[in-house]
């Protein structure tokens, strides 16, 4: 039987006299997580004894918070899919996703997703968890994806994302010759009214900001590096099309599918603060073969 995800804390002098409920809140455990613990099989103990949240903390108390076991939804089936693991610890995974793989299942592609592969991996590892994908990528975008192994970990990373603390760097091939060495596209993005997939620049949309830097100019296209100050769906693709330089292969937004059979976009680096190891972490993934072949030509 898989062990519950459990966090351990030791109360310090500054915590003396706090109600346990306040102590737990200070550790960024959400109200919904506490409700889940109360009704779905978790527990909270102090010095090995289960207590309620009105317990008064004393300096030196050892507080354990055990979360309920997580069960994947009925429609989420585990599959034995090879995963390119870049990093793993007891809290997170960083995976290099290939192009052509959905991050989560869709109506058109109900199987073969990264999420299906993760469930299968967890089942084989004896981990009681469902999928918590922090940084999603489009089906045909390759590169690094950050995954939390528990809903509480996902909650912490979501807060970090909203504060701009999860940083991703992309590389892409944009059609034509981009004249400026550096640039910024700052336009709001919304879903097109007649599509469930396509996005567009729209004054009624959400604020979006993309920074780009030219790495090299080649025949017919420009190799660029991009950083997102926001994380809207299709943001890079929409913004580059807006300035007249759609990504190679991105036919949805006006790109030409000749040199490559998908949008030439790769999440090259990811950087974040690990909330449990208490340190900055950074990972990188080289360009995939199809993009390297375009450069070689």
- By annotation, the residues acting in catalysis are 138
Tokens of 160: 């970090």
Q: Cα 44–50–56 angle (5° rounding)?
A: 80
**H or E element that contains 31:** helix 31-40
Paired residues of 46 in beta bridges = 49, 63
Does the CA dihedral 151-156-161-165 come out positive or negative? negative
Tokens of 239: 């913004």
The answer to whether the CB of 263 falls within 8 A of the CB of 247 is: yes
Cβ–Cβ contacts within 10 Å for residue 245, how many?
Answer: 23
How many whole angstroms separate alpha carbon 69 and alpha carbon 275?
Answer: 21
- DSSP single-letter state for residue 71: -
How many whole angstroms separate alpha carbon 272 and alpha carbon 270?
Answer: 7
Q: Which of 284, 190, 168 is nearest to 234 (CA)?
A: 190
How many whole angstroms separate alpha carbon 31 and alpha carbon 35?
Answer: 6
Phi, psi of 227 (to 5 degrees): -130, 140
Mode of pairing for the β-strands spanning 142-148 and 265-274: parallel
């Amino acid at each position: 039987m898989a062990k519950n995800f459990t966090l351990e804390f030791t109360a310090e002098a500054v915590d003396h006299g706090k109600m346990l409920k306040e102590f737990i809140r200070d550790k960024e455990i959400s109200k919904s997580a506490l409700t889940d613990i109360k009704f779905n099989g978790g527990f909270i103990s102090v010095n090995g004894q289960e207590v309620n949240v009105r317990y008064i903390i004393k300096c030196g108390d050892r507080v354990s918070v055990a979360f309920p076991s997580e069960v994947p939804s009925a429609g989420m089936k585990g599959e034995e899919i090879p995963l390119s693991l870049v990093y793993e610890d007891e809290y997170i995974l960083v995976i290099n996703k290939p192009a052509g793989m959905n991050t989560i299942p869709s109506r058109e592609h109900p199987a073969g997703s990264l999420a299906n592969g993760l469930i299968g991996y967890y089942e084989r590892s004896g981990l009681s968890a469902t999928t918590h994908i922090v940084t999603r990528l489009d089906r045909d975008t390759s590169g690094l994806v950050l995954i939390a192994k528990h809903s509480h970990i996902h909650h912490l990373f979501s807060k970090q994302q909203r504060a701009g603390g999860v940083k991703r760097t992309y590389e892409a091939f944009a059609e034509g010759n981009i004249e400026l060495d550096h640039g910024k596209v700052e336009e709001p993005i919304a879903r097109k009214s007649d599509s469930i997939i396509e996005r567009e620049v729209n004054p009624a949309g959400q604020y979006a900001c993309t920074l780009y830097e030219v790495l090299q100019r080649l025949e017919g296209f420009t190799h660029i590096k991009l950083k997102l100050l926001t994380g809207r769906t299709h943001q890079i693709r929409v913004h580059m099309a807006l300035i007249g330089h759609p990504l190679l292969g991105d036919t949805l937004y006006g790109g030409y599918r000749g040199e490559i059979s998908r949008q030439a976009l790769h999440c090259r680096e990811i950087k974040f603060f690990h909330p449990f190891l208490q340190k900055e972490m950074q990972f990188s993934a080289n360009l995939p073969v199809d993009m390297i072949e375009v450069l070689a030509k």
